[in-house]
Amino acid sequence: MNLLIKNGRLLDQDGTRAGDVRIADGRIADVGESLEGDGAEQVIDATGLVVSPGFVDLHVHLREPGKEEAETIETGSRAAALGGFTAVVAMPNTEPTQDCVEVVDFVREQGRRAALCDVLPAASITVGRAGTQLSPFGELADAGVRIFTDDGAGVQDPLLMRRAYEYASDLGIVMAQHCEVARLTDGAVMHEGACCSHLGLPGWPSLAEELMVHRDIELVRLTGGRAHLLHLSTAGSVELVRRAKADGLAVTAEATPHHISLTDELLRSYDAVYKVNPPLRTRDDIAAVRAGLADGTIDALATDHAPHESATKEQPLDSAPPGMLGLETALGVAIAHLDVELDAIVAALSWKPAAIAGVEDRHGRPVRAGEPANLAVFDPAVEWEVVPAELASKSRNTPYVGIALTGRVRHTIFGGELVVKDGTARR
Ligand code: DOR
């Protein structure tokens, strides 16, 4: 495809400037002012729009194989493309688990065949995510897996986790921890605090997260391994990471759009659409997570896009599964809820997660001639509300109905192809 994007505001790690972008043969062919289109080109008018590197989501549940009734690699990647993402890390809590080369290869192949963005399969830390035996890290690393996680659960055994970090140090792979001490959250449905006490519901203490954040930081200190801490939600976690980074440890962290925008008070409705793991926390936690993003303690915004069939989310709070959609609303939530410059938001959505995922050679690249054409083109100012029936995801469990969002993706270019045009996926 030969494409010309006219009159955009280019935003990347080099700063902001006006310009046109010509794309040919999967790459940015030219960047400059007043580029002329010839007859063969498709021209996009980006007046008032930002042209940035495409976004990279470190944390997405695509549900294939195993739960295709909730999402597939095709539908999830379509939601991703509509959100401006050109690469997503696919979580391994599939059925079967992504704990061996065969399953990882299946996900990657499905991605190549059906997806509208790059699908980067993560693999589990332990076989079957059962927490007792390490997955074959060497084979999986040779097969191109970079991120390992038992997401949905933390690895409880500290000795097993010590060994995992030792392997991480040898193999150059990343252990992405879901920080939750399970003994402290058994049966919990929401954040443990005033609201939870008032409702008389079993609570999920902040300490359950912070204990494992602390343990894993110390294991990194001991082993020289590399940790990425998933979906941090408490003020205490942010402070622990801030100190670990000040100590120079190889620790990165992410936060979700919902943990910078929604509080535990929403559970007063008893609506399981607001049940998520880790749970929605308090205003003070939200302020701390936002401050962590603002000062770089938290590296990346990652959605934890977790589709669930409506019937499962309509169950009572104690039996409904945790999780909420995130791909199509991430940018709109970030701009509406973060009091930082736009380049900091794009950094947290694009080049910083690209580096953590190890795809910085093809994603999150500057908007420059010669670079791979993976780009998001978005309106940073438009206000909108999500309409669940219009989502590309197979599931409908968005918590943002009736909440104003600011900023929306208009076009997404993946591998030089215009996969989203005017807010509509082209395949
Ligand atoms: O809310 C969540 N849902 N948190 C997780 O860690 C897992 C995810 C899921 O798979 O549904």
pLDDT of 38 > 80? The answer is no
Contact 340, 294 (CB under 8 A): yes
User: Which residues, including other chains, have CB under 8 Å from residue 124's CB and lie 6 or more apart?
Assistant: 92, 93, 97, 98, 99, 135, 148, 149, 150
Q: How far is the CA of 44 from the centre of ligand 1 (A)?
A: 37
Q: Within the chain, what is the greatest distance between any pair of CA atoms?
A: 67
Give the percent of the chain with pLDDT over 70.
100
Q: How far apart, in whole angstroms, are the C-alpha atoms of residue 399 and residue 273?
A: 6
Return all residues near 137 (Cβ < 8 A) that are at least 6 apart: 148, 164, 167, 168, 171, 173
pTM of the model: 0.98
Tokens matching residue 86: 């050109």
Measured by CA distance, the residue closest to atom 5 of ligand 1 is 152
pLDDT, tens digit (0-9, with 9 covering 90-100), for 76-94: 999 999 999 999 999 999 9
Is the Cβ–Cβ distance between 318 and 191 less than 8 Å?
A: no
Nearest to 385 by CA among 399, 398, 371, 400: 400
Q: How far is the C-alpha of 398 from the C-alpha of 307, rounded, in Å?
A: 9
* CA 178 to ligand 1 center in whole angstroms: 10
Residue with more model confidence, 39 or 405: 405
Selected residue with higher pLDDT from 38 and 327:
327
With a 6 A CB cut-off, is 179 part of the ligand 1 pocket?
no
Quote the percentage of the chain above a pLDDT of 90. 98
Q: Is 299 one of the annotated active-site residues of the chain?
A: no
Decide: 408 and 424 in contact? Cβ < 8 Å: no
Ligand 1 touching residue 258 (CB < 6 A): no
Task: Answer yes or no: is the C-beta of 276 below 6 A from any ligand 1 atom.
Answer: yes
Rg, C-alpha atoms of the chain: 21
Q: Tens digit of pLDDT for each residue in 261-296?
A: 999 999 999 999 999 999 999 999 999 999 999 999
How is the chain split into domains, by residue range? 3-50+370-425, 54-357
Q: Is the pLDDT of residue 40 over 80?
A: no
Nearest to 404 by CA among 373, 383, 381: 383
Is 59 near ligand 1, meaning CB less than 6 Å away? no
Q: E strand or H helix at 300, and its extent?
A: strand 300-301
Catalytic position from the list 304, 339, 361, 379: 304
Q: Ligand 1 pocket: which of 58, 277, 305, 394 to mutate (most atoms <8 Å of CB)?
A: 277
Q: Which CATH architecture has domain 54-357?
A: Alpha-Beta Barrel (3.20)
Q: Which of 42, 96, 88 is nearest to 306 (CA)?
A: 88
The answer to whether the beta carbons of residues 199 and 266 sit under 8 Å apart is no
3-50+370-425: CATH class? mainly beta
Q: Across residues 196-206, what is the average pLDDT?
A: 97
Q: In a mutational test of the pocket of ligand 1, which residue from 256, 304, 324 has the highest number of ligand atoms less than 8 Å from its CB?
A: 304
Decide: 323 in ligand 1 pocket, CB within 6 A. Answer: yes
Detail the DSSP E strand segments found in 123-250: 147-148, 174-177, 190-191, 203-204, 227-229
Which protein residue has the closest C-alpha to ligand 1 atom 1? 323
pLDDT of 1 strictly over 80: no
Decide: 65 and 108 in contact? Cβ < 8 Å: no
Where residue 383 falls among pLDDT bands split at 50, 70, 90?
A: very high
